[in-house]
């Protein structure tokens, strides 16, 4: 079975406009904490801060050589040996092909491998059930239900907090690796550039 070739490469200055366009897509903004239309000025301030912050990392997700999404780490803490992460595929047409699962594998491996951290967290709007279930399928456990955690379109929204420990991953990794290999993904390429 063949699968798309997926790569994570560091965000560069030339990605700035693309990221603004993606982030303002309704299909992306719907799942983010804020969904107002982001102006070029606000985006420029965010981009400068994001790319200069040593506690964050941003990667462009490429599928068969084309940029299709963004993955990032935040709150990287050496002291507490943990970080948080999030991702999106901009075009809904590229979702559901396993790309997100492969990216999840790459990011987890990077966090517990190259970065040597002990815990990876993420937060997902509770109505984004497919995604918190996707995280759970990689061994993340629900650690919190944050009630009325964010306001979107004038409404309070609950958020699920999930965590994956390095020790959880040691047990889960073979299962996740086998699932991706069965879909045709090349796990030798599951490295973050």
Helices (H), the chain: 16-23, 26-29, 40-52, 99-112, 129-137, 166-182
Q: Which is nearer to ligand COA, 41 or 50 (CB)?
A: 50
Query: Could you say whether residue 161 binds ligand COA (CB under 6 A)?
Result: no
Taking each helix axis from N to C end, the angle separating 40-52 and 16-23, rounded to the nearest 10 degrees, works out to 120
Closest contact distance (angstroms) between CB of 12 and ligand COA is 21
Query: Could you say whether residue 74 binds ligand COA (CB under 6 A)?
Result: no
Query: Could you say whether residue 177 binds ligand COA (CB under 6 A)?
Result: no
Q: Which of 10, 40, 96, 193 binds ligand COA (CB under 6 A)?
A: 96
The SS3 of residue 56 is coil
Cβ contacts of residue 87 below 8 Å, gap of 6+?
61, 69, 70, 71, 72, 100, 103, 104, 107
Closest contact distance (angstroms) between CB of 162 and ligand COA is 10
Q: Which of 11, 63, 83, 99 binds ligand COA (CB under 6 A)?
A: 99
| Site string (22-61) toward ligand COA, x via CB under 6 A | ---------x------------------------------
- Farthest-apart Cα atoms in the chain, separation: 45
Report, in angstroms and rounded to the nearest whole number, the Rg of the chain calculated over CA atoms. 16
Chain residues binding ligand COA by CB under 6 A are 31, 86-89, 95-101, 124, 128, 130-131, 134
């Amino acid at each position: 079975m063949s699968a798309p070739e997926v790569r994570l490469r560091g965000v560069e200055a030339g990605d700035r406009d693309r990221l603004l366009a993606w982030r303002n897509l309704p299909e992306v903004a719907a799942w983010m904490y804020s969904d107002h239309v982001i102006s070029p000025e606000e985006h420029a301030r965010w981009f400068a801060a994001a790319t200069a912050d040593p506690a964050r990392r941003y990667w462009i997700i490429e599928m068969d050589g084309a940029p299709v999404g963004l993955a990032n780490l935040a709150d990287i803490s050496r002291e507490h040996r943990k970080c948080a992460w999030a991702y999106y595929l901009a075009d809904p047409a590229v979702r559901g092909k396993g790309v997100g699962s492969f990216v999840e594998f790459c990011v987890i491996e990077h966090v517990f491998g190259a970065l040597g951290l002990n815990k990876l967290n993420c937060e997902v709007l509770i109505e984004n059930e497919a995604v918190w279930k996707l995280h759970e399928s990689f061994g993340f456990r629900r650690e919190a239900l944050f009630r009325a955690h964010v306001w979107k379109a004038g409404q309070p929204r609950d958020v699920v907090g999930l965590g994956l420990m390095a020790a959880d991953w040691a047990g889960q990794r073979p299962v996740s690796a086998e699932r991706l290999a069965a879909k045709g993904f090349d796990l030798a390429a599951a490295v973050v550039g």
